[in-house]
Amino acid sequence: MNSSDPTQSADDPRACVTNLFKRIRSVPAYKVVADEIERLIVSGELRSGDPLPTEIELSESFGVNRSTVREAIRLIEQEGMLERREGRRLFVCLPGLYDLASRATRMLMLQ
């Protein structure tokens, strides 16, 4: 048994202390960006019909790469809160009732 490893022995008081801490779960940057944009939409700071800033503007604002912003946008588009209009421009939109109902059903089934 290795005496420097506090998890080796249940009798070691350091083992109890180490078990108090939970593992830190890192969240991918695209998820943080998506959550922040969704928060702005849900709070009403971004309203239906408002144009979203460009990928470059968003990447500069968040301090992340454009690929991270693209992944976040893809996620929000799938949720029905963003749509592409006028070629490539993104606009805020509210998901329809059917989209919300099917999403809620999926969430309940996963529980």
The tens-digit pLDDT sequence of the chain (111 residues) is 444 554 455 566 666 666 777 888 899 999 999 999 999 998 899 999 999 999 999 999 999 999 999 999 999 998 889 999 877 899 999 876 556 666 667 667 766
Q: How many helices (H) and strands (E) does the chain have?
A: 5, 2
47 backbone φψ class: left, alpha, beta (φ>0; ψ -120 to 50): beta
Q: What share of the chain is helix, strand, coil (3-state, %, to 5)?
A: 50, 10, 40
At 11 the pLDDT is: 65
Cite the beta strand spans of the chain per DSSP E. Answer: 82-85, 89-92
List of domains in the chain: 28-110 (1.10.10.10)
